[in-house]
Structure 1
Amino acid sequence: MAKRKINKQQQRRIQAKHRQRSQRARDADVIDSDSLGPEQVGQVIESFGRQVNVESEDGTLTRCHLRANLENPVAGDRVIWQAGDEVGVIVAIEERRSLLSRPDFNGQPKSIAANIDQMLIVVAAQPPAYANLIDRYLVAAEAHGLKAVIVQNKSDIPLDEATEAMLKNYDATGYSLLRASSKSGDGLDELKASLSGAISIFVGQSGVGKSSLVNALLPEANTAVGELSHAADKGRHTTTTARLFHFPDGGDLIDSPGIREFGVQNLDRAAVERGFREFQPYIDQCRFRDCRHESEPDCGLRAAYERGEISETRLQSYRQIIAEIEG
């Protein structure tokens, strides 16, 4: 009797089940070991799916597996773990005060980093800075209660007129704007001072020089630096997983993978509106409490735009994000 053929989707499901069984078996081998030490607190430095590098309180790094049914921890997580002969086991993840995520290939949220205090949005002359991507970061920062700082890297390369005007508009809105160059060293002292005493994360498109900034701020980090792909004006992904670095004088920095899209699908309209901080004085001036700021009469937001008090770029970004989450 001929074997029944299976399609590619069925093949993927079978392979996924095999991987899950293999992982459970590996987890069991570690968890059942009699050589596990006492539970202790650690911090996740880097995550590789079901394995992570955990730093103990004395600064030692240990590769750890996860207990079965435990979600994947990410850089910045505080965890409870036990040391083994060669590898350790994470038994619990402590409560997070913040968690950043981005959409995966299936549009589902994928966690990037945890317990962040501030987000540094890195832009540069190349690849071009897009207002809508920056606005998505700012919305996420406001939603998570994070301080947002915009960093122009490669400040030795002049920006075009439109990009310069865009950055000055963010500065006028009240967001901190720093200019630095990992090549010349200009602005690095001010940037380092802004990172002191907090857990910060660098976000931005690939190719804007996040890893180069990390190298300039922390030469011992020695992170890989990729070349810009001039053919498509998009950076090649150098950092493939978020990684946490310590500053000798205090403060931590997480270098994240380059992100060309940043999803805010888990937020509602009110949360998105709060992410546009210059909108707040005018939203209360709308006649209707559920005003969508489109064609409703006596809309305070549209009136402010018509008076030139809100930029067209920011209003368009807001509408595009709302259309996405309510589409």
Structure 2
Amino acid sequence: MAKRKLTQNQKRRIQSNNAKIHHRHQRKEKKDFEWLDEMLGDSQEGRVVSRYSLHADVETKSGQIFRCNLRRTLTSLVVGDYVIWRQGKENLQGVNGVIEAVLPRDNEIARPDYYDGMKIMAANISRIIIVSAVLPKLSLNIIDRYLVICETAKIPAVIVLNKADLLDEKERLETENLLAIYQNIGYQTLLISAKSGENMENLTSLLAQGTSIFVGQSGVGKSSLINYFLPQVNAQVGDVSEISGLGQHTTTVSKLYHLPQGGDLIDSPGIREFGLWHLQPDQITKGYREFHYFLGACKFRDCKHAQDPECALRLAVEQGKIHPLRFENYHRLIAGLTENKSQRHFSTE
């Protein structure tokens, strides 16, 4: 049976119901038992490897994993966090200890949430791997959206295009030309196929260094890649919807996995859209790294980089120093920013 698209009113009702469920969970959490000091051992360091609604799994330096409660004073806890925790002297209700503090983060990646403001997804990340694919259709606008987030968070980005085995010779050439746009401005790119194994050795070497996280729309093959690197995890693979062309969400709990060749991989819940409405226009502008050299050279300080006279960015496009597709996507993101903020204001009235 074909799936019907939800109206805006239906979407708002669903969001409202989800918010009520979230608040009920919070009330339930307040009724959880409290760990008394005499019930706990000494403080020690660990890293969060799984994050659930009410608990988190902490891994010790020796590789042991303990499920922990969270002190109510903690305002944020995500996969990748290094924490101070204490082990319980006994197991209570399946819980082995309590997390008491989060150590300072090197970085964090967050996305806007209608109810929680900025929702942090993961922390202490070495690189963000932007996964796209030829199915759904390759969208440079989506890639640019993720790159703005990476640049704002100051986390290195790698662009990976999956399902290369589906490209014919002409499509491959066109795809390589599009990827060259990003290579020319300093981004690392990989054209891969988890099915045929193309360039998977190069991706394996990359993942062996530090902590990586996959981001990208559902249906681009993130779960297939996880199955490739961690077959024992058996991540559920979501089909692409015949109606929308978007994949179905498959991951519900954020986890950090240790890879056999070394390095860690964070698998976070699938994101269909990654909003930018929490950013200001100048943050999006600075999120385009090739713009930096020309910013400040426009005739007018409040230049919108559109039809403004003597715009340095537009001149750079005309001179071939900025790719026109990137410049076009930039204006689409700016236009979408105003539209999304208007919709958010309407939905919260």
TM-score, reference length from structure 2: 0.82
Q: Select the residue among 214, 235, 240 that pairs with 1:228.
A: 240
The residue that corresponds to 1:3 in the other structure is: none
Task: Say whether residues 1:82 and 2:94 are aligned partners.
Answer: no
Larger displacement relative to structure 2 (40-49 or 226-235)? 226-235
User: Which residue of structure 2 aligns with residue 4 of structure 1?
Assistant: none
Q: 1:172 to 1:9 in 2, by over 3 A?
A: closer
Find out whether 1:300 has 2:312 as its counterpart: yes
Following the alignment from structure 1 to structure 2, what is the Cα–Cα distance between the partners of residues 9 and 170?
36
Is 1:100 the counterpart of 2:113 in the alignment?
A: no
Change (3 A) 1:10 1:248: closer
- Which residue, 78, 91, 94 being the options, matches 2:100? 91
Q: Of 169, 178, 200, which aligns to 2:212?
A: 200
Counterpart pick for 1:146 among 140, 155, 165: 155
Displacement after TM superposition at 1:308 (Å)? 3.8
Contact 1:31–1:89 under 8 Å retained in 2: yes
Q: CA deviation at 1:163?
A: 5.0
One-letter amino acid of the counterpart of residue 206, structure 2? S
- State percent identity of aligned pairs: 42
What SS does the corresponding residue of 1:219 show, helix, strand or coil?
A: coil
- Match for residue 26 of structure 2 among 3, 12, 20: 20
Q: Distance in 2 between matches of 1:11 and 1:304?
A: 49
Q: Given the superposition, is the C-alpha separation of residues 11 and 202 from structure 1 closer, same or farther in structure 2, using an over 3 Å criterion?
A: closer
CA displacement, residues 143-192 of structure 1 (integer Å, 9 cap, x when unaligned): 22211110111111117476554323222222111122111222111001
Classify 1:107/1:19 alpha carbon distance in 2 versus 1 (closer, same or farther; 3 Å): closer
Unaligned runs of 5+ in 2: 1-13, 342-349
- Displacement of 1:18 in angstroms is 5.3
Shift of 1:17: 6.1
**C-alpha displacement at 1:112, in angstroms?**
0.8
Match of 1:120 in 2: 129
Structure 1 segment 1-327 matched on structure 2, within 5 A: 19-26=25-32, 29-32=33-36, 34-84=38-88, 85-86=90-91, 87=95, 88-106=97-115, 108-158=117-167, 160=171, 163-325=175-337
Count of aligned pairs between the two proteins = 318
Kept after mapping to 1: 8 A contact 2:52/2:254: no
- Alignment gaps of 5+ in structure 1: 1-7
1:45 aligned counterpart, secondary structure:
strand
Query: RMSD across aligned C-alpha pairs, in angstroms?
Result: 2.7
- Tell me the TM-score normalised to structure 1 length: 0.87
**1:120/1:149 contact within 8 Å kept:** yes
Distance in 1, Cα, partners of 2:179 & 2:16? 49
Code of the residue aligned with 2:159 in structure 1: it is I
1:31–1:67 Cα contact (<8 Å) kept:
no
Secondary structure of 1:40's counterpart equals: strand
- Could you tell me which residue of structure 1 aligns to residue 4 of structure 2? none
